């Protein structure tokens, strides 16, 4: 199964993102093997940097390093997939500015909800950054449930026990992109959160 064959955007209503860098994971995957879904912020401005791009894309480089920091013996995106981890973004188009409008996160959360439903055996969701947290909270709101992750700084709520629809939900920081190499304290926390997710699935 390829997620890009199953879900997608048809109308592209959002005005604050670059539709030229729209992407849904186009990777062959067996849904039943996925135990962890890692959701980061947005597609990169250059699709050559995306998780599943050819060569050595930036998102792969930083994510592989994050998993290695967490103690996982991985060297590629395929190695991470083989651990039962599926990676995607909350927003499917690239950013045009520093932030992303709340309306865009809400719009794209419809696609994310359909995407998450492809992986019935996933028991852990890793939310890498505020945009991923907002998107999952929006999915919960539409389902008539309370916020999955409370409104508080991530460093204060990391390690809390948050659940949604039978999944354990771990808030963390963004691991995809150049900032990963800059903020050492966040890098340490990212490693701890990835390690926690891997422990939860055994």
Span 4-29, pLDDT tens digits: 999 999 999 999 999 999 999 999 99
The vertex-90 CA angle with 34 and 181, nearest 5°, equals: 90
Look at residue 44 and tell me if it is in a domain.
yes
Look at residue 1 and tell me if it is in a domain.
no
What's the structural domain count of the chain? 1
Look at residue 3 and tell me if it is in a domain.
no
What is the model's pTM?
A: 0.96
pLDDT band per the 50, 70, 90 thresholds, residue 182: confident
Percentages of the chain per state (helix, strand, coil), in multiples of 5 = 40, 15, 40
Within a 13 Å sphere around the CA of 56, how many CA atoms are in the beta-carbon half?
A: 5
Q: Could you give the CA distance from residue 56 to residue 58 in angstroms, rounded to a whole number? A: 7
47-99 residue pLDDT tens: 999 999 999 999 999 999 999 999 999 999 999 999 999 999 999 999 998 88
Q: Mean pLDDT across the stretch 98-102?
A: 92
Burial track 14-37 (b if 16+ CB lie within 10 A, e otherwise): beebbeebbbbbebebeeeebbbb
Total Cβ atoms within 10 A of residue 2? 11
Residue 94 DSSP SS3: strand
28-46 residue pLDDT tens: 999 999 999 999 999 999 9
Map tokens 């992303």 to a residue.
100
Instruction: Give residue 159's pLDDT.
Output: 86
Look at residue 17 and tell me if it is in a domain.
yes
Look at residue 72 and tell me if it is in a domain.
yes
Map tokens 């926690």 to a residue.
196
Look at residue 49 and tell me if it is in a domain.
yes
Look at residue 4 and tell me if it is in a domain.
no
Q: Mean pLDDT across the stretch 143-159?
A: 93
Map tokens 């709340």 to a residue.
102
Instruction: Give residue 179's pLDDT.
Output: 86
Q: Could you give the CA distance from residue 87 to residue 174 in angstroms, rounded to a whole number? A: 12
Look at residue 2 and tell me if it is in a domain.
no
Q: Are strands 167-172 and 162-164 parallel, antiparallel or unpaired?
A: antiparallel
The residue segments making up the domain with residue 165 are: 11-200
Instruction: Give residue 181's pLDDT.
Output: 85
Is the alpha carbon torsion for 76, 37, 179, 110 positive or negative? positive
The CATH number that applies at residue 60 is: 3.40.470.10
Instruction: Name the token pair of 117.
Output: 């439903």
Burial class (CB in 10 A: 0-12, 13-18, 19+), 106: middle
């Amino acid at each position: 199964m390829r997620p890009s064959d199953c879900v997608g955007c048809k109308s592209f209503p959002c005005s604050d993102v670059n539709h030229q860098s729209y992407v849904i994971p186009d990777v062959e995957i067996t849904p039943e093997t996925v135990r962890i879904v890692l959701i980061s912020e947005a597609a990169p401005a250059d699709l050559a940097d995306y998780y599943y791009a050819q060569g050595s894309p930036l998102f792969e480089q930083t994510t592989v390093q994050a998993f290695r920091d967490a103690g996982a013996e991985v060297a590629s995106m395929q190695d991470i997939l083989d651990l039962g981890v599926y990676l995607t973004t909350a927003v499917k188009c690239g950013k045009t500015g520093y932030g992303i409008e709340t309306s865009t996160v809400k719009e794209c959360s419809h696609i994310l909800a359909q995407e998450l439903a492809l992986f019935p055996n996933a028991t852990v969701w890793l939310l890498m950054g505020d945009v991923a947290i907002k998107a999952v909270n929006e999915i919960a709101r539409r389902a008539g449930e309370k916020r999955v992750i409370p409104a508080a700084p991530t460093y204060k709520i990391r390690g809390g026990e948050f659940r949604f629809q039978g999944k354990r939900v771990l808030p963390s920081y963004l691991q995809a992109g150049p900032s990963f190499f800059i903020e050492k304290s966040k890098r340490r926390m990212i490693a701890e959160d990835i390690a926690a997710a891997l422990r939860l699935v055994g």
